[in-house]
Chains A and B, each alone.
Chain A
Amino acid sequence: MASDKISVSGFRHFFPTEDGPVQATGTIDLAIREGEFVTLVGPSGCGKTTLLKAIAGFIAPSEGTILCDGKPVKGPGRERGVVFQELAILPWRTVRRNIAHGLEIAGASKAVRESTVARLVDLMGLAGFEDRYPHELSGGMRQRVAVARTWAADPEIILMDEPFAAVDAMTRLTLQEELGRLCATTGKTVFFITHSVDEAVFLADRVLVMTKRPGTIKAVLEVPRHGSGGRDWDSFTADPEMRNISEQVMHLVHAERGAR
């Protein structure tokens, strides 16, 4: 398993509270290959964000080990970028300076910063908004900036925690297609958390389904790709194979909701 980009084994997490520790997740084992897009879908409160935070290095697991490229995760690092649900780009920086932030921290030259910003602004449809502040943008535009900022820093692994959950439904469809294209052209390893079944299947090479709290992974479904480039919603919804996978995932997720 040395070729795994991310490898989680025997992971379990507890949060300390005044009434003693509360179990956030069950035992989780997971491996993600290089260049793979893995989505994790599960009911709210099942511990998906806890798992993502542990991979990001924001929290130290109570039990088990997390390896990236075979090396144990000891804290956050620039090889693992994170896109949050909301409230993570800085309101006092323009779009341009938010996107270039990672490069600025890495000490990249002005020329490199400018060309990277120009490329991502173009890819994410942000042209003309470079010098705006986040409060002047719609929610969808802000999430495009957040995605662009993470990609600009060029991490090997990208962790996404329900990045489109706070965006309106129409914009979300566009953002999902854009993300699919972006990943197809850049070949990043992505771990993406969501509670939307359609989103999970649409984006993934592989979908993991989690049980309710304390969550464990109850099923893994491969989602085959036909042709290169990202998927688009028109052909996705017309494809019976995709519909079939979505229905399977829906049943698995629904069983968890019914059990509550």
Chain B
Amino acid sequence: MMAARAFRELRILIPFAAAIALWWGIKDGIGVSNTLLASPAQVWTAFVYLATHGVLAEYAATSLQMIGVAAAISFALGVPLGFAVGTNRYAARALEGTLRFLQGISGIAWLPLAILWCGFTHTTTLIVVIYTLIVPIVFNTMTGVRAIPENYVLALRSLGASRLRIVVDVYFPGALPSIVVGLRLGMGYGWRALIAAEMLVRQGGLGDLIFGARTFNQIDRIMVGMIAIGILYIVVDRLLVQPIESMTLARWGVLRR
């Protein structure tokens, strides 16, 4: 039982092992120059150096802190906005086009303007990441609210519920599974936007780390940074966002019938 479980957990690592083997084969088999590609061994050495000197931890901590703050602000602003739009049929119709338009302009496209407004600061990065994160949260909150059967609301109104009460007792729990999906999507988009913004803003973070390494042709460090970006995203998603999602779905999954 335990062994079978452990094997299932380890199975997800097989493609990674294959990719590393392929990478190693290309590097040593063809003999690609060190100015184009570092070998897994070189990357490992760079990783050990960056990890033991606290460099990786510092840059990663900046990125994680930024995504955390951006997610909290986006949630706090996006959910009420989604409720406001979702409960008002006219607002929903009017804003649907606007939201789609804004979805077309990626967060990174706001970077020139944000830099002019706020300079090369964390605020600029936050503006870009929050913008990216908040759209899927608003959109999914709105969709979640609109999927709630009207009878839930009517029944509560005839039990004497106030508007606030309906938000707390019906809209929030009813839309929660959808809100969490929005948060999860937003975290994915937001993480990518964050790395890109960090490369231009250069105030710390993993994007800064890999862009800085480029200046000195430190290919091994660039690759350490890229791998860290991927791994941290999996960690945030699997350990933080996915548990919230399955928790709400397990209890309320039947909601959509």
- Is B159 engaged at the interface, CB distance under 8 Å to the other chain? yes
Q: Taking the complex as formed, is B251 at the interface, i.e. its CB lies under 8 A from any CB of chain A?
A: yes
Stretch at the interface among B6-14, B147-155, B209-217, B225-233: B147-155
Residue in A closest to B252 when the chains form the complex, CB atoms: A92
Question: What CA separation (Å) do A192 and B160 show in the bound complex?
Answer: 21
Q: Is B158 an interface residue (CB 8 A)?
A: yes
Instruction: Give the B-binding residues of A (Cβ under 8 A).
Output: 56-58, 75-78, 80-82, 84, 86-92, 101-102, 105-106, 133-135, 146, 149, 153, 155
The prevalent SS among residues of B at the interface is helix
Q: Say whether B158 contacts A77, CB under 8 Å.
A: yes
Nearest chain A CB to B148 CB, angstrom units: 10
Residue of A nearest to B255 (CB): A91
CB distance A76 to B252 under 8 Å?
Answer: no
A-B contacts besides A86-B151, A92-B174, A92-B252, 18 pairs, CB < 8 Å: A75-B157, A76-B157, A77-B160, A78-B159, A82-B158, A84-B154, A87-B149, A87-B152, A88-B155, A90-B152, A90-B170, A90-B173, A91-B252, A91-B255, A101-B156, A102-B159, A133-B251, A134-B254
Residues in B neighbouring A76, C-beta threshold 8 A: 154, 157-158
CB-CB nearest 8 A-B residue pairs: A78-B160, A135-B254, A102-B159, A76-B157, A88-B151, A88-B155, A82-B158, A76-B158
Evaluate contact between A153 and B252: CB separation under 8 angstroms. Answer: no
Bound Cα distance A244, B237 (Å): 68
Residues of B within 8 A of A77 (CB): 158, 160
Give the docked Cα–Cα distance between A146 and B156 (Å). 12
Q: How large is the interface on B (under 10, 10 to 19, 20 to 34, 35 or more residues)?
A: 20 to 34
Q: Report how many A-B pairs have Cβ atoms within 8 Å.
A: 67
CB–CB A92/B159 < 8 A? no
Q: Find B155's partner among A82, A92, A106 (CB 8 Å cutoff).
A: A82
Q: Which residue of A lies closest to B253 (CB)?
A: A135
State whether B151 touches A92 (Cβ < 8 A).
Answer: no
Instruction: Return the chain A residue nearest B254 by Cβ.
Output: A135
Contact of A81 among B158, B169, B174, B251 (CB under 8 A): B158
Q: With A90-B152, A92-B251, A105-B165 given, is the CB distance from A153 to B173 under 8 Å? A: no
Given the interface pairs A84-B151, A87-B149, A105-B165, the reply to whether A92 lies near B255 with Cβ below 8 Å is yes
Output the nearest chain A residue to B157 by Cβ-Cβ distance: A76
Quote the shortest CB–CB distance from B162 to chain A (angstroms): 8
User: Taking the complex as formed, is B22 at the interface, i.e. its CB lies under 8 A from any CB of chain A?
Assistant: no
Q: How far is the CA of A77 from the CA of B158 in the complex (A)?
A: 5
Distance between Cα atoms of A110 and B170 in the complex (Å)? 21
Residue of B nearest to A153 (CB): B159
How far apart are the CA atoms of A58 and B157 in the complex, in Å? 9
Q: Which residues of A contact B157 (CB under 8 A)?
A: 58, 75-76
In the assembled complex, the CB of B113 is this many whole angstroms from the nearest CB of chain A, namely 41
Q: How far is the CA of A58 from the CA of B251 in the complex (A)?
A: 30
Closest residue on chain B to residue A136 by CB atoms? B254
> B173 contacts which of A82, A92, A106 (Cβ < 8 Å)?
A92
Interface positions, chain B 132-187, Cβ under 8 Å from A, are: 149, 151-152, 154-161, 165, 169-170, 173-174
Set of chain A residues within 8 Å of B156, measured between Cβ atoms: 101, 105
A135–B170 CA distance with the chains assembled, in angstroms: 17
